[in-house]
Amino acid sequence: MSTPVHALPLAALRERTSEKWREYPADVLPLFVAETDFPLAPAITRALERAVATGDTGYVASRTPLPGAYAGFARRRFDWTPDPARMRSTADVSMGIVEILRRVTAPGDGVIVMPPVYPPFYDLVEEAGAVIERVPLRDTGTAWEIDLDGVDAALEDGARAVLLCSPHNPTGTVHSAASLAALAELAAAHGAAVVSDEIHAPLAQPGTGFTPFLAISDAAREVGYAVVSASKAFNLAGLKCALMVTASDGPTGVVRSLPVEVEWRTGQFGLLAAVAAFGEESDEWLDGLLTTLDENRRLLTDLLAENLPGAHYRIPDAGYLAWIDMTDLGWGENPAKRILREARVALHYGPAFGAEGAGHVRLNFGTSPEVLTDAVMRIAALRGA
């Protein structure tokens, strides 16, 4: 097991000026937005310090080492080697999704999303000029699965694209290779595209069997687009850098047709940080982070079982986000409101993820065991209030 990465002290974290630490007063424990509480990987710190020291703050170059760095990362972590020539960068995953959807759908076309899902997906589809087609994940009682029959029906009704979250946010589900292969076959049969948001992929726990969508099958390569970033695993969201990845001539042509400005929106610091993050020198740090998150996801299981037994939670396969069902506690459709008001813990509102989020909250456990424990104990105290 790798050496865990330790979160910074709470006092130091409160010196940060990002959304997580400025949205609420200092008496609130912020576990809502997907930022983590860990120091940067040393290679990233060195890359940014070097850029500041040399004034390397200009425009992103037309040729960069980022595609090659990601290809190496994918080979080491996923046993997959995408072609760097089939990638283009942009500012973030959301921008990449919108720009691709604009090319693969016409105004008014349906785009399938699988709620409960990352709330901005709904806005991104609308921004692209398309219409949401909801095909909720199936809850088997022990796991969440893609509803392939529902996807098939929506495609039969005219949906032109699938917006896939893989690994899934907020459930942390790593979709099986078999279900992804079946999804690709359905899309190919209906002439639809699959846009796969794989921002949480570097955070898949060892042994989960995560497979990038474009590595699944020939059908996936023909219909698929992946949008990837180092931002979630390495806490780089503010630096603005993502990659649009393709694996066959059709999708590659679509991405190459995007205006040059889409690529120029990439942040220079984001690109430099991503190259460092995807490099081999950051592998040990990432392994340590995964060890820490594994410990925290299991700690949360124990804390809820012992102190808040009415809350139901399945250990996620990937990431640092916990999807918690609080329906049995009787705290209403949006329990995060009461938790913020009375326990002074900020969690993401469940209903924002879709109708399936009623009675749920999303909790970010990318923090220290002490903060996580304090948060759960504050929430548990509401049971007697």
The two structure tokens encoding residue 113? 């999303």
174 shares a domain with 30? no
Residue 190 lies inside a defined structural domain of this protein: yes
Whether the Cβ atoms of residue 18 and residue 35 lie closer than 8 Å to each other: yes
Q: Which of 281, 296, 325 is the last residue of a domain?
A: 281
CA distances from 296 to 125, 200, 318 (A): 33, 17, 12
Q: How many CB atoms lie within 10 A of CB 375?
A: 25
Q: Which of 256, 281, 306 is the last residue of a domain?
A: 281
| Cα distance between residue 255 and residue 318, in whole Å | 28
Q: Which residues of 165-198 are buried (b: 16+ CB within 10 A; e: fewer)?
A: bbbbbbbbbbbeeebbbbbbbbbbebebbbbbbb
CB neighbour class for 51 (10 Å; exposed up to 12, middle 13-18, buried from 19): middle
User: What is the domain-level CATH number for residue 361?
Assistant: 3.90.1150.10
- 196: which residues sit within 8 A by CB, 6+ positions away? 164, 166, 212, 213, 214, 224, 225, 226, 227
134 shares a domain with 59? yes
Q: Which of 281, 307, 327 is the last residue of a domain?
A: 281
Instruction: Say how many domains are in the chain.
Output: 2
For every residue of 282-308, DSSP letters joined together read GHHHHHHHHHHHHHHHHHHHHHHHHH-
For every residue of 238-287, DSSP letters joined together read GG--EEEE--SHHHHHHHHTS-HHHHHTS-HHHHHHHHHHHSGGGHHHHH
Whether the Cβ atoms of residue 37 and residue 13 lie closer than 8 Å to each other: yes
Model-level pTM? 0.97
Residue 59 lies inside a defined structural domain of this protein: yes
Whether the Cβ atoms of residue 136 and residue 171 lie closer than 8 Å to each other: no
Which of 183, 163, 182 shows the shortest CA–CA distance to 117? 163
261 shares a domain with 296? no
Range of the domain at 371: 10-38+283-384
Residue 157 lies inside a defined structural domain of this protein: yes
Query: Tokens 């099958």 label which residue?
Result: 217
- Give the model's pLDDT for residue 155: 98
Whether the Cβ atoms of residue 198 and residue 247 lie closer than 8 Å to each other: no
CA distances from 307 to 63, 137, 312, 320 (A): 54, 29, 12, 21
Residue 5 lies inside a defined structural domain of this protein: no
- Which contacts of 256-259 are long-range, i.e. CB under 8 A and separated by 24 or more positions? 256/88, 257/103, 258/88, 258/99, 258/103
137 shares a domain with 246? yes
- Give the model's pLDDT for residue 2: 87
- Give the model's pLDDT for residue 145: 98
269 shares a domain with 124? yes
Q: Where are the beta strands (DSSP E) in 28-74?
A: 29-30
- Give the model's pLDDT for residue 385: 63
73-283-21 Cα angle (round to 5): 100
Residue 299 lies inside a defined structural domain of this protein: yes
Residue 159 lies inside a defined structural domain of this protein: yes
User: What is the domain-level CATH number for residue 221?
Assistant: 3.40.640.10
164 shares a domain with 75? yes
| Cα distance between residue 51 and residue 254, in whole Å | 33
Q: How many CB atoms lie within 10 A of CB 282?
A: 25
344 shares a domain with 212? no
The two structure tokens encoding residue 198? 């794989």
* Helix (H) or strand (E) run with residue 223 in it: helix 218-223
| Cα distance between residue 20 and residue 157, in whole Å | 41
206 shares a domain with 151? yes
Residue 3 lies inside a defined structural domain of this protein: no
338 shares a domain with 223? no
The two structure tokens encoding residue 380? 């548990």
Whether the Cβ atoms of residue 224 and residue 217 lie closer than 8 Å to each other: no
Run means of pLDDT, 10 residues per run, the chain, 385 residues: 93 98 98 98 98 97 97 98 98 98 98 98 98 97 96 98 98 98 98 98 96 98 98 98 98 98 97 98 98 98 97 98 98 98 98 98 98 98 83
234 shares a domain with 319? no
Q: How many CB atoms lie within 10 A of CB 67?
A: 21
229 shares a domain with 258? yes
Residue 129 lies inside a defined structural domain of this protein: yes
111 shares a domain with 250? yes
